[in-house]
Structure 1
């Protein structure tokens, strides 16, 4: 996909964003007007044009989206790095069926760019480990992902 601009996710990207995955979200800080970047993992793309994600409803991301709905999600996959841009909207400030106070955000994708620098390839994708009770983490992850799928 190098040097191309797509109007939505590609067929290869869709399954990558239908499970818990490390991505970053860039928003515009509502007070300072400068970029604000956060790492998240609860993402689900129901279509090539939409990505849903869950965040703590006390997160600064919510206030940022209320002030400026422009969002960029960064995805490292398939040997490259992708910038997924679009407009975000807050679907729910408190998701149902989840024990934490999480907000559901939906990103309407309007541009996907391969932003990997020339002549390079990502050799491994980011990985992470939950640092709290593994059983509790797995249960929470299932609950959040089910809520994201329902929208």
Structure 2
């Protein structure tokens, strides 16, 4: 998809967004009006035009979306880097079956753009480890991702 713009997720990106993964999300800061970037991992492509994700209900991400719906998710996948632009809306403040106070956000995709610089490809995608209780992390991840899939 080098240097192309699509109005929706291509098949490869849709498939990449069927499991928890590292992405960044840029929002418009509700206090400064400037950009704000955060990392999240609880997200799922519901279809080629919709991404659902969860974030702490008290987070700056949620406050920013309530003030301005424009968001960009940056995804490293498919040997490239993608900017997924759209409008987000907080659907629920609190998700049933999840012990944390999380908000469920629905993002309607307007544009998917390959933003990798010319003549290059990603050879290693970002990886992360959860550094708290592994059993608790696995249990929580499953609860959150199951709730997102049901939404």
Shift of 1:2: 1.3
* Structure-2 residue corresponding to 1:82: 82
Q: CA deviation at 1:30?
A: 0.7
Whole-Å Cα distance in 1 between the matches of residues 110 and 18 of structure 2? 18
TM-score (norm 2): 0.98
Question: Which whole-Å CA distance do the structure 1 matches of 2:4 and 2:41 have between them?
Answer: 26
CA-to-aligned-CA distance 1:46-100 (integer Å, 9 cap, x gap): 1000000000000011111111100000000011000000000001011111000
Runs of 4+ in 1 over 3 A off after TM superposition: none
Partner of 1:133: 133
Give unpaired runs (5+ residues) of structure 2: none
**1:65 maps onto 2:80 in alignment:** no
CA offset at residue 148 of structure 1?
0.3
Query: What is the aligned-residue RMSD (CA, Å)?
Result: 0.6
| Cα distance in structure 2, aligned partners of 1:114 and 1:3 | 5
> Cα offset for 1:31?
0.7
Residue 53 of structure 2 corresponds to: 53
2:147 is aligned to 147
Aligned length: 151
TM-score by length of 1: 0.98
Partner of 1:23: 23
Which whole-Å deviations, capped at 9, do the CAs of 1:74-131 have from their partners, x for residues lacking one?
A: 0000110000000000010111110000100011011000000011111100000000
Q: Is 1:35 aligned to 2:35, yes or no?
A: yes
Matched residue, 1:92? 92
